[in-house]
Structure 1
């Protein structure tokens, strides 16, 4: 049974807002779901036959869980313990999803390739447990597996082994240091740092990197280019994500420069946008620039199974960075809300016009897109009103997003598939759209936005396949 969503939280989210209490509700629910999902991985491993999960792998999962439990107890437990931080890290969601898929093969018998991938995935949990224990100050010795020559220790860094193969690495932790030993190479000493990262004198070690807190007093934000589960499998098509990026020092500097001005920009679009970023954002995953980008193009995404992660190519300016956060964090909020309550019962058929894409969208995709564009319309209107002398680009963006949402709202509001909760939510979106219209963009911006909507609707209609002819029966 889905948990009830308080009326106040539903009303706030319908306005694309969300006070601290509402955002904390989403976080608590998602963290609980993540822990339950991890428990499901352990239960599935216990239930799987030896052809799927060998006894040695099950025994190792038990040992890893015991180490995590010891780390949690050593730091007093609670939501902020190193163990909980590792288990609720966004990228543990994709890991758990892969494991559950591998532990439940469709025909009951995995292929050799599938079994090998599952064992690699399960071995990653050992690295997670080791990091939590190290962060908790425990002393221990364990054996980990480097995957194709790379041993990733989440939040610490990655060791590149001497061989590009699956290599066993002995890990000893004591006095805030890790000693990593692999066959045929000298030992590597890694020194833990506070927060994110660990340093070593050897070039075989790549430390994890983090951007500074968004505001003074906020914790550092990981810029994760190491985790093996950071991006979904590559897809083909116009809207496929670009590949994962591995920023060098110069590129990290550009990320830092852009990030440094983002909080101030978020504030000009409303204090709530800064609160969202501080509460919901847990890590950034850098992506390559899209093919053919001229320095202004970008791509970004969120993943339902990775609550708190934002995947993005490097934004060109703080305004672009802030807009990306506003856009993607609405997807984060709506996805989390959708897991707490049923908003609609529409099917997956892609048949709706969305003026921000040339292809038909399913109802849920239309709702997601309209919700994020509505927040952007509000964000840029507030920016334009806050600084009329420099409001030209903000008014243009506001007019475009407002017109796009206006074109999508009739299909959303008129759907018979909305649940009562979904009806209240969509009605809240419509009320925000009407409120924004009370302070419209200067006439020229509105006219251009409406002409744009008309043009893309015409083009979209022309691209749709003709309806089948009627026949008498």
Structure 2
């Protein structure tokens, strides 16, 4: 059933203020979006690929889906909301738009399996056609993956309304069939803590689970499956310490997709618009899994909301600063990040209160850091004029939570660290992404050479040099320290960063100054130097932090033109005495 959804501003404001739940209109919006996409796909195939329309037995599958929805609408709608089905639909449409007829035929074979699964769950008899994939496998949504052939092949699926599906001439499968080399049933994660239970699909078989996600794992080995279940138990116990968040997450989270581990980024998670209620995650601890679940669920809530109302005007040019990213962001991406991190504020506040050890200190620091970051971002959104009336209502609700979280007590040393890291993130981002006006830099270089005062500055353009690792080395090092890492374990850290974190700012500044040319990340080294001077209350530091990109570009220009690097403190003093604007 397709419905037109409407949400008043007060409902949207509550979604911004409290842990959001995918229920009511947001669920109806998801079902309507899927049904519109499905009907659109079937019309595309009927009108543009008539031979495929008949070969795939689309009329039978379409009829069966309608019968299943009439017989048991809640069960059928629940199947239609399966995240992997959303990915499949969008993949089919993409193949049509690209003129990839062979690829469309390969993917359309999944339609018969969807129709068969709908009738199976609605206890209806059925018969239809599906196509195995190139490896001979057939995915039946909600049940599992069956290898029935040596390659791609059309097969008939039949059911009598009972507890099994007959792949005619090949195999009979059902929810209670034990795993074999040819049959991989869907696995589930189940947990209970503090009187609250949850069940998710642990999807390591559906071929559509990884659409637009980082690389996904294959079928998990038994030991890995056990590890994920243990991690999930730990994560759910942590989440249920905040019952409102746990209830919200339980209302709409459908499946967890394990991602391939990456040593460069051990904690990776992602959510896509077409698979609301699913998240791809790779992590190594229950704490990290709990945080990722809350974070990614926030993305799902916002995608579900965006399927019902517009929140932000299209803004194709990335131009905004997001503290959790090292690249410029467009308006919609900025809102997504803000909403996700905003949703974590209560999580961190609860952890800071309930965990007296290192985990509590980590949570208190994250709360202090990201309440600064979220406020910075939503201030940009409010000033941009990109928000619609509904977007303004959502941000108003976010402000209410933010105001509450600002009052949550954080130890003074962690608050100071958060403020320093927030400034570090902003300064490093500017050094990476802003390019000063070349004419201004040439004028500054000439003024230094002739002993003149620095001329006015302030012009810059924004660049995007592509994907980079977010954060700064000082943030990563501080997190390790707060989590209980010992100083002697910091063997991979920059020595200057270690001194910076330890509070030996004079030594840190000296080391940064010697590494500006040959550092692996010059932007991070420049930011570390400027922040060290700031924390040491050097008189020139405020001006340097106001124009970090101009400081670096002028220094490097002088070095190129003269053949030697100017003495840093003399240069800093000269730069700070110049004019800020023309």
User: Which TM class, normalised by the smaller chain length?
Assistant: 0.7 to 0.9
Give the deviation of 1:465 after TM superposition. Answer: 4.5
Question: Which SS does the other structure have where 1:199 is aligned?
Answer: coil
- Partner in structure 2 of residue 281 of structure 1: 253
Partners of 1:220 and 1:432 in 2: CA distance: 28
Match of 1:414, SS state, is helix
State whether residues 132 and 149 of structure 2, in contact with CA within 8 Å, keep that contact through their aligned partners in structure 1: no
Alpha-carbon separation, structure 1, partners of 2:144 and 2:250: 24
**Structure 1 residue 46, shift from structure 2 partner:** 2.7
Specify the SS of the correspondent of 2:145: strand
CA distance in 2, matches of 1:464, 1:393: 29
Cα pair 1:16 1:374 within 8 Å, conserved: no
Partner of 1:56: 54
Query: 2:127 and 2:387 mapped to 1: Cα distance?
Result: 55
Partners in 1 of 2:411 and 2:216 — Cα distance?
40
Whether the 8 Å contact between 1:35 and 1:88 is mirrored in structure 2 is: no
1:188 to 154, 168, 171: 171
Alignment CA distance shift 1:233-1:378 (3 Å): closer
2:72 equivalent in structure 1: 77
Q: What is the distance in 2 between the residues matched to 1:345 and 1:177? A: 48
Provide closer, same or farther for how the CA distance between residues 192 and 432 of structure 1 changes in structure 2, counting only shifts above 3 A.
closer
Counterpart for residue 379 of structure 1: 347
* Structure 1 counterpart of 2:145, from 158, 168, 180: 158
Q: 1:264 corresponds to which residue?
A: 237
Are 1:208 and 2:182 matched, yes or no? no
Q: For residues 217 and 451 of structure 1, do their structure 2 counterparts lie closer, same or farther at Cα, with a shift above 3 Å needed?
A: closer
Determine if the alignment matches structure 1 residue 443 to structure 2 residue 443: no
SS in 1 for 2:159: strand
In structure 2, do the counterparts of structure 1 residues 27 and 70 end up closer, same or farther at CA, with 3 Å as the change threshold?
closer
Question: What is the DSSP-based 3-state SS (H/G/I as helix, E as strand, rest coil) of the residue aligned with 2:24?
Answer: helix
Supply the distance in 2 between the matched residues of 1:152 and 1:199 (Cα, whole angstroms).
Answer: 16
CA deviation vs aligned residue, 1:105-132 (integer Å, no higher than 9, x gap): 5xxxx3xxx1111011111100111222
Task: Specify which of 311, 326, 346 is matched with residue 358 of structure 1.
Answer: 326
**1:213–1:221 Cα contact (<8 Å) kept:** no
**Match of 1:10?**
12
* 1:387 Cα offset (Å): 4.4
- Alpha-carbon offset, residue 278 of structure 1: 0.9
Q: Aligned partners of 1:141, 1:222: CA distance in 2, in Å?
A: 27
SS of residue in 2 equivalent to 1:458: helix
Q: For 1:125 and 1:178, how far apart are their aligned partners in 2?
A: 15
Distance in 1 of aligned mates of 2:106 and 2:314: 38
Q: Secondary structure at the match of 1:151?
A: strand
Of 59, 65, 68, which residue of structure 1 is paired with 2:65? 68
Alpha-carbon distance, 1:408 to partner: 2.2
Deviation at 1:17, TM superposition (A): 2.6
- Distance in 1 separating the partners of 2:250 and 2:388: 31
Structure 1 gap segments, 5+ residues each: 235-240
Offset of 1:440 from its aligned partner? 3.2
- Compute the displacement of 1:61 (Å): 1.2
Structure-2 change in CA distance of 1:209 and 1:345 (3 Å): same
CA distance 1:5–1:103, change in 2 (3 Å): same
Greater length-normalized contact order (CA 8 Å, ≥ 6 residues apart): 1
Quick check: 1:231–1:244 contact (8 Å CA) kept in 2? Answer: no
Which range moves more in the overlay, 362-371 or 213-222? 213-222
Equivalent position of 2:224 in the other structure: 251
Deviation of 1:141 (Å): 4.5
Instruction: State the Cα distance separating 1:363 from its structure 2 match.
Output: 1.6
- Helix, strand or coil: the match of 1:288? coil
Check whether the contact 2:137–2:149 (CA below 8 A) recurs between aligned residues.
Answer: no
Out of 123, 126, 129, the position equivalent to 1:137 is 123
Instruction: Determine if contact 1:190/1:199 at 8 Å carries over to the other structure.
Output: no
C-alpha deviation, 1:455, in angstroms: 1.5
The verdict on how the C-alpha distance between 1:244 and 1:470 changes in structure 2, with shifts beyond 3 A counting, is same
State the TM-score, normalizing by the size of structure 1.
0.83
Report the 3-state secondary structure (helix = DSSP H, G, I; strand = E; otherwise coil) of the residue aligned with 1:54: helix
Question: Cα distance, 1:139 vs. partner?
Answer: 4.1
1-structure distance, mates of 2:365, 2:58: 54
| Structure-2 separation of matches of 1:396 and 1:298 | 18
Please say if residues 266 and 274 of structure 1, whose CA atoms lie closer than 8 Å, have aligned partners that are also in contact: yes
Q: Which residue of 2 aligns with 1:432?
A: 401
Contact 2:192–2:233 under 8 Å retained in 1: yes
Cα distance in 2 for partners of 1:214, 1:68 equals 34
Equivalent in the alignment of 1:220:
199
**Partner residue in 2 for 1:237:** none
**Deviation of residue 214 (structure 1)?**
5.4
1:344–1:419 Cα contact (<8 Å) kept: yes
**Pair 199,49 (structure 1): closer, same or farther in 2 beyond 3 Å:** same
Equivalence for 2:24:
24
| Cross-structure match for 2:132 | 146
TM-score (norm 2): 0.69
Q: Which has the higher helix share?
A: 2
> Equivalents in 1 of 2:377, 2:67: separation in Å?
52
Q: Secondary structure at the match of 2:335?
A: helix
Q: How far apart, in 2, do the equivalents of 1:121 and 1:289 lie?
A: 28
